[in-house]
Structure 1
């Protein structure tokens, strides 16, 4: 099944990458990443110490369906006495360490493995190469590139299909032949399809280790630059992949030259990550505006448009606006709708002099409160109650009262009470942050389970 000549051909043809390579295949109870479980894993590792193989059945702790049993040849009886994944996790991690993962439809194998490690409290972050994409580039004249097509095209003989080591053997034979038939494309094609790309030689070793230690999932990455008092913060869907991709951006070497530390903190999802990152936000930076009720010299509440940055306050913001003009228009419409006096609120155009008659009174649409300001407490109470109805920028519907995120792998859940696009913290205060605001909008736009 594993041919000696193919293995040594590949060992030579992969040396230019100067990094361990693992050709891997997994079998599972089905194709659902969150509901199904691994039943077998097999691999071949190529590194400076030689060629190593590993093959293991896994007890999935769930029933294998007759369809999957017939497809893979792995029965419930075969895995009944097999170890659990958590029992082989450390041994398997040793074979995967510092390697590039080669697999047919690598996304399937990589994410099944990554989630299996996560379920037992460990993490897997590694670059991958999909041999389907590689085959498409090396052999563009062919339409099909699934493993059955490669087996037929390259006359690969296997004792059984859909067993992990048999499929690994098929991949090694394909790769060995392709490296010789398409030698003029071989190296450039491999470099192109390894994602994220291999870490550059100029990257210091300590940063390489810190990047490789990043979880490949949602979270917050703290980037500490030399002499900086606060870290730069990035919220990432896949921290490991996203940060490695930055290595190949323009001026990446100059940017990384000042970095002394990179650390990642996993989150349940984008909202959780945004909330985590808010503690490092600069409160002086703002991209939005809000309306605040501020007492004047006569102790009357007046509406003032002010910049809205990261803040933790006793109440949610009154409206969120992309620019002051939008806030001015909204507060005037709101005052007209609810019968509040724009002169009392000091929201009339600044070009009007104090001697100019009130335009609202002149239009005979005044509610008559101006001469009755002795009812100030009632007016203030009504203002505070109705101010919560000011619009939220970019959001046309009423905000739900709660937001919840669930980790589909661990079952961990977080829930937040929401009002005025702010979320309530554990101590009862209200957090507003631009990144949290955007995450909330995206969260509520998605269909909720």
Structure 2
């Protein structure tokens, strides 16, 4: 026995390679429970045309699937055949992704472990360069009646496993399978059941500790994969903080699109103040820079705060900062990089010695505004030019807008409403009430500005009011 649990080889034919837009046209399934082997195959009506290229490659025509059941009609019977099994496929992410999306369209969830036979072939036969199915068939001399049909390709994978066992021995194949299946080990004290039910879907997750303390909030395109990686600290998803405190539960909120995930993550960070999230992301001292024209001839930057001034309705703001320390640091960098006087900009105080200039005079970083060598109009002009690069953009619309994100699999649409860079909340498309706390902050501004420069696929912008 190669596996300790029930397993199945699955192969699909589809209308194309886009996991969201294309549909399944044929399913081939070989199920193995110990020594018992069962087969299931069916054509599926994709409810969309099969492109000529795909028809020529697979031999499955529009006429062949016209009278066949759509996936929704077989989903209820098919799910028990797959759920809980180890699913094997050649490039398993493709087949598993298509199946999972088809089940999502009818309100069902498929959650199974997977094994990619491409990876298994590479591990068993590292001396070979190619590991596509045609190469494997040729390499092992597998005899098949046809190719590019679902059951035939599933049979090819079964023959490949049998050939590998015959050539290398069952123990070698089992060890290779264990290595391919190897999952990051959870640290002691973390119950595997906490992550088993998390979805392999995009969303925002919250790790909770004792006494309902929020430990960490994160965002992921595959929540379960990222949480396992983070807890095991395997580095697969980048450097995430190691959770050293006891974990009591993990919650996940699935999201429709990337913008919605960012907005939800930001809201939870503000509301929960999780212990392990970077403190700078949780700072609540939003400030900006305005130019003060009232003290002599020189324009002087002044730090202004969002809790004292409505940034969403204030023009001529320069930069958004999480703290006054960050604002002063940027002013110092602007002074040094543009020959401006740090004392005029308020970054440093002048010495009391008569006639002494700022610290930048001696190093040539200041052109002498502090000692009368540079006139105010010239200094002001250069200051305005330097600050122009960080000026907060004016709101580009005559009214509030809704960014509409649509799940291309389920068709569910969500609207995220903004006005004057302020996030007002989110709602299901067509609803009036908004969920979420209205806020103007640096993260929302940057997020929406980036979206407007490059709108995400599957989203649209709608003017309101």
Question: Do the structures match in fold with TM over 0.5?
Answer: yes
How does 1:412-431 map onto structure 2 within 5 Å? 412-415=413-416, 417=418, 423-426=422-425, 429-431=439-441
Does 2:8 match 1:14? no
What residue in structure 2 maps to residue 245 of structure 1?
229
Deviations 1:57-83 (A, max 9, x none): 211001223432332232323322222
Instruction: Measure the CA separation in 2 of the matches of 1:260 and 1:151.
Output: 49
Does 2:254 match 1:263? no
Give, in angstroms, the shift of residue 437 of structure 1. Answer: 6.7
Give, in angstroms, the shift of residue 175 of structure 1. Answer: 0.7
Task: Say if 1:216 and 1:423 are closer, same or farther in 2 by CA, change over 3 A.
Answer: farther
Task: Say if 1:291 and 1:245 are closer, same or farther in 2 by CA, change over 3 A.
Answer: closer
What residue in structure 2 maps to residue 277 of structure 1?
265
How does 1:13-412 map onto structure 2 within 5 Å? 13-15=2-4, 19-47=5-33, 50-183=36-169, 185-194=172-181, 197=183, 207-208=192-193, 210-249=194-233, 255=243, 258-282=246-270, 285-286=279-280, 291-292=287-288, 303-304=302-303, 314-316=310-312, 319-321=319-321, 323-329=326-332, 347=346, 349-351=348-350, 362=372, 365-366=375-376, 391=390, 405-411=405-411, 412=413
Instruction: Measure the CA separation in 2 of the matches of 1:445 and 1:199.
Output: 41
| Structure with bigger RCO (C-alpha 8 Å, 6+ apart) | 1
Task: Say if 1:329 and 1:60 are closer, same or farther in 2 by CA, change over 3 A.
Answer: same
Give, in angstroms, the shift of residue 130 of structure 1. Answer: 1.5
The size of the alignment, in residue pairs, is: 401
Coordinate RMSD, CA, aligned: 4.9
Instruction: Measure the CA separation in 2 of the matches of 1:255 and 1:66.
Output: 52
Instruction: Measure the CA separation in 1 of the matches of 2:10 and 2:119.
Output: 16
Instruction: Measure the CA separation in 2 of the matches of 1:303 and 1:21.
Output: 67
Give, in angstroms, the shift of residue 104 of structure 1. Answer: 0.8
Give, in angstroms, the shift of residue 312 of structure 1. Answer: 12
Give, in angstroms, the shift of residue 203 of structure 1. Answer: 7.4
TM-score, structure 2 as length reference: 0.69
Judge conservation of contact 2:288–2:303 (CA < 8 Å) in 1: yes
Task: Say if 1:117 and 1:321 are closer, same or farther in 2 by CA, change over 3 A.
Answer: same
Judge conservation of contact 2:27–2:41 (CA < 8 Å) in 1: yes
Deviations 1:387-436 (A, max 9, x none): x96727xx9x99977766553334535445476xx542237542444xx5
Give, in angstroms, the shift of residue 176 of structure 1. Answer: 1.7
Give, in angstroms, the shift of residue 150 of structure 1. Answer: 2.0
Matched residue SS, 2:211: coil
Judge conservation of contact 1:332–1:347 (CA < 8 Å) in 2: no
Matched residue SS, 1:162: coil
Matched residue SS, 2:214: coil
TM-score, structure 1 as length reference: 0.71
Judge conservation of contact 2:422–2:445 (CA < 8 Å) in 1: no
What residue in structure 2 maps to residue 383 of structure 1?
none
Task: Say if 1:365 and 1:166 are closer, same or farther in 2 by CA, change over 3 A.
Answer: same
Instruction: Measure the CA separation in 2 of the matches of 1:312 and 1:407.
Output: 39
Which runs of 5 or more structure 2 residues have no equivalent in the other structure? 291-299, 358-368, 378-384, 426-436, 458-465
Judge conservation of contact 2:260–2:416 (CA < 8 Å) in 1: no
Instruction: Measure the CA separation in 2 of the matches of 1:24 and 1:326.
Output: 58
Instruction: Measure the CA separation in 2 of the matches of 1:87 and 1:202.
Output: 44
Give, in angstroms, the shift of residue 220 of structure 1. Answer: 0.3
Deviations 1:70-129 (A, max 9, x none): 322323233222222122223322222223221112122122222222323333343322
Deviations 1:44-64 (A, max 9, x none): 233469544332221100122
Instruction: Measure the CA separation in 2 of the matches of 1:312 and 1:53.
Output: 70
